[in-house]
Chains A and B, each alone.
Chain A
């Protein structure tokens, strides 16, 4: 499979717990993005990596959110002390030049 892989596909967690998502981009893509999408809305930008450097973070990314991309390969997005408002689809995308390739997303439900 040469696409963008995200794991897990679904995550149900209790409010206050920490969760971590993983994204494996297309290997030759140096840019990696995280977006969040709620029902009926378009994706909202969270953060962006070029290789291992995190170049931009949205104001949506509160202190409870942290993203890493060690060695410029896979990336993780961690949410600490989850809240019900964090329930959403978390999408990862990678690119080299123009056009993103998206993964299938991780759907997070906070109960």
Chain B
């Protein structure tokens, strides 16, 4: 199975609501990153959190990392229709390349 797995697989919310996505992984990591992908497009880097960090913010994004539980969460506050996309976590495992999970498909309904 994959190193990182996002949960839920799909999420539908109303515009203005908050969206929370989770990522679990198996082995120790150097850092964890979140990416967004609009349908049929490349991935856009959102935020990186290092293994010694617990929380990071970037605009409407908030990422937490719990290395004891090997999990991370991405919170998007005050969601907009333009946030509709797939969101992937990618783990940087020491000495290896980034490993992506299968993603969470977020739909923000107007």
Beyond A91-B42, A99-B33, A107-B40, is A41–B102 a contact (Cβ under 8 Å)? yes
Cross-chain contact of A101 among B45, B88, B92 (Cβ < 8 A) = B45
Give chain A residues whose Cβ lies under 8 Å from the Cβ of B43. 43, 91, 93, 100, 102
Tally of A-B residue pairs with Cβ under 8 A?
54
Whether, in the assembled complex, A21 has its beta carbon less than 8 Å from a beta carbon of chain B, the answer is no
Q: Would you list which residues of chain A between 1 and 59 have a CB under 8 Å from chain B?
A: 4, 6, 33, 35, 40-45, 48, 56
Beyond A99-B45, A99-B48, is A42–B101 a contact (Cβ under 8 Å)? yes
Report A87 CB to chain B, min CB distance, Å: 14
Give chain B residues whose Cβ lies under 8 Å from the Cβ of A42. 2, 4, 88, 100-103
Whether, in the assembled complex, A80 has its beta carbon less than 8 Å from a beta carbon of chain B, the answer is no
Closest to A103 in B: B42
Give chain A residues whose Cβ lies under 8 Å from the Cβ of B35. 100, 102
| Size class of the B contact interface (CB-based, 8 Å) | 20 to 34
Bound Cα distance A24, B44 (Å): 17
Closest to B31 in A: A98
Give chain B residues whose Cβ lies under 8 Å from the Cβ of A56. 97
Whether, in the assembled complex, B99 has its beta carbon less than 8 Å from a beta carbon of chain A, the answer is yes
Bound Cα distance A4, B45 (Å): 13
Whether, in the assembled complex, A104 has its beta carbon less than 8 Å from a beta carbon of chain B, the answer is yes
Q: Ordered nearest first, which 6 A-B pairs have the shortest CB separation?
A: A42-B100, A102-B42, A102-B43, A104-B42, A99-B45, A43-B100
9 residue pairs A–B, Cβ–Cβ below 8 Å: A42-B2, A42-B102, A42-B103, A45-B97, A91-B42, A91-B43, A93-B43, A98-B48, A102-B43
Q: Would you list which residues of chain B between 1 and 58 have a CB under 8 Å from chain A?
A: 2, 4, 31, 33, 35, 40-45, 48
Report A109 CB to chain B, min CB distance, Å: 13
Known: A33-B98, A105-B41. 9 other contacts (CB 8 A): A41-B103, A42-B100, A45-B97, A98-B48, A100-B35, A102-B42, A102-B43, A102-B45, A104-B42
